[in-house]
Amino acid sequence: VGRGQSGSSQKIVAAEMAGQEAARQRHLNQDTDGEESASAQPEAWKIHYEKSWLHRRWSSLLHKDKQARKAGQLFSGLLAMNVVFLGCAFISSMIFNRVAITLHDVKIFFSILKILSLCWIIYYLLCTSRKPHAVLYRDSHAGPVWVQGSLVLFGACTILLHVFGIGYNISHIHCKSQLEILFPCIEIIFICIQTYLLWRHCKDCTQVQHNLTRCGLMLTMATDLLLWLLAVTNDSVHKEIESALKGNGNSSCTCPNTTACRVFQKGYVLLYPFNMEYCLIGSSMLYVMWKNVGRRIPPHHAIHAKPKFKLRGVIYGLLLGISALLLGICIFLTYQIQATSSAPNQEALVLYYSYYVVLLPMMAVGAVAGTVIHGLEERELDTLKNPTRSLDVILLMGAALGQIGISYFSIVAIVATNPGDLLDRLILTYAVSLIIQHITQNIFIIEGLHRQPLVEDPDARLAGQEPTPPPVYPLEIRQEIRRVSHAYSHTFGRLNWKRKALKEISIFLVLCNIILWIMPTFGMHPAFENGLEKSFYGYSTWFAIVNFGLPLGVFYRMHSVGGLLEVYVSS
């Protein structure tokens, strides 16, 4: 029996070993099959499936449409580039060789460009925009209210400027050409019709006559840029008015009515920067229209909820901003009263630069604090492609170069002459503070524009409905919910603190930029009155430098207000 039991146990062990060997062999076979199938799988991925005719036709049409759009943009851009280069050649020839190319020749060339632009604008208003399906989409981000309001304001001031110019030329008609009266009249007509176009159609995404519309927009934009460049470099009228005011004018060309001539002269000098500002705004709006030609906006981009502007909970930044605004208005009125009676004395200039020396560092500190808070926020970066936001950033950075350039020229002049009086030291401190303030504010605005706006709690939209009874959970789950809710409240409280700080900083910077926009816009130009840079660089060179940077500086302040308001609302 013992031998039988041991024999049966040996058979069982042998059967188990045979079964294990068979299972091992099957496992190896499965691995081998898996490797063969894995090695054969990439071959299956290489199978080319024939696409349908409709899919290939639709892809071909999209590709051709994209190519046509790029070709149209390239051709119209080359047209604008050639027109700008030709105008720059005329202006440079007038500056360096006044005998061969005179100011009358340049104005005749510019009048031709204005007439051609007016022909296209009238055709667009009467024909293109009225065609069926001409404007199927409108860009909600293009042409905000503050840009349109600034365009109308600067356009009205530019028209008034040319009215003063016409009056000044009529009072000197016995010694001036009649073309001097014709040129401002053409300019007034051009400004009126262009302002109407930009006011009514700046949001259009034109879907018909793409190439003609692009070329017309580029021609008009090139005309505005050349008008701005001519206004920057042409100092002949300013020299004539300055010599007349000092009593050094030509005796053969005097004005019979001294009072009227003085009014025309003062008004022309006061309103001269508005012309350059209008040209810059018009060029930027025309560029946005050019980018939107042929653009198709998806429905989920066209319809979106905009956050509302509210001043709830903002106290300290609002009070500081209002204080800076009121103090700046008082300094502005004091300066203007002295400038009207005579040239501003040194006390007025010291008061002006002292105000800036105090205000600019405060703005820089606020911008740095806001940038740090942006880095501590839980909001994610908005990485979606947004052409309007990209253009805002480019305009913000480009416009900042105006005042930064003037500041660097002032620093070089002051350091080279090594003056020691109080006014020159204030100007040096003002120039350095202005550079720092521009850089810090740009970083703060750009960081804020690239943050996703905070949305309201979706449960708030269910207000007014009957609340559903909360479900009953076990004790452990209720304790976990209570712990998570406490952590969420703590996080939400910190978020509220950050949002409140960002709103305080934003509203303070908005009010500060408003007063810094008002001062140079309405005739406060100490850079012209201060004689250090003028004597160091020469009248014509310093005139070109200031007229290049001053309108950009005004445009920067205005554009900063719009960007800061967006940062405030999105916070």
Helix 475-521 to helix 258-292 angle, to the nearest 10 degrees? Answer: 140
Among 413, 418, 423, 271, smallest CA distance to 348 is for 423
State yes or no: pLDDT of 65 exceeds 50: yes
| Distance between start and end Cα atoms, the chain | 93
Q: What pTM was estimated for this model as a whole?
A: 0.71
Nearest to 414 by CA among 275, 310, 500, 530: 530
Confidence band of 481 (pLDDT split at 50, 70, 90): low
> SS3 of 136, please?
strand
Long-range contacts of 524-530 (CB under 8 A, 24+ apart): 524/332, 524/335, 524/336, 524/352, 525/273, 525/550, 526/335, 526/344, 526/349, 526/352, 526/353, 527/406, 527/410, 529/339, 529/343, 529/344, 529/349, 530/349, 530/423, 530/427
Tally the C-alpha atoms within 13 A of residue 213's C-alpha that lie toward its C-beta. 28
Sequential DSSP letters for 497-539: HHHHHHHHHHHHHHHHHHHHHHHHHTT--HHHH-HHHHHHH-H
Residue 51 has pLDDT above 80, yes or no: no
Residue corresponding to tokens 């004790």: 475
Q: Which residue has the tokens 């580029």?
A: 218
pLDDT digits (tens, 9 = 90+) for 255-294: 766 778 878 888 887 788 788 889 988 998 999 889 888 8
Q: Which of 119-123, 344-348, 458-462, 547-551 has the lowest mean pLDDT?
A: 458-462
Q: How far is CA 278 from each of CA 86, 151, 284, 391, rounded to the nearest angstrom? A: 22, 6, 10, 18
> pLDDT, tens digit, for every residue of 537-547?
887 788 788 87
> DSSP letter at 381?
B
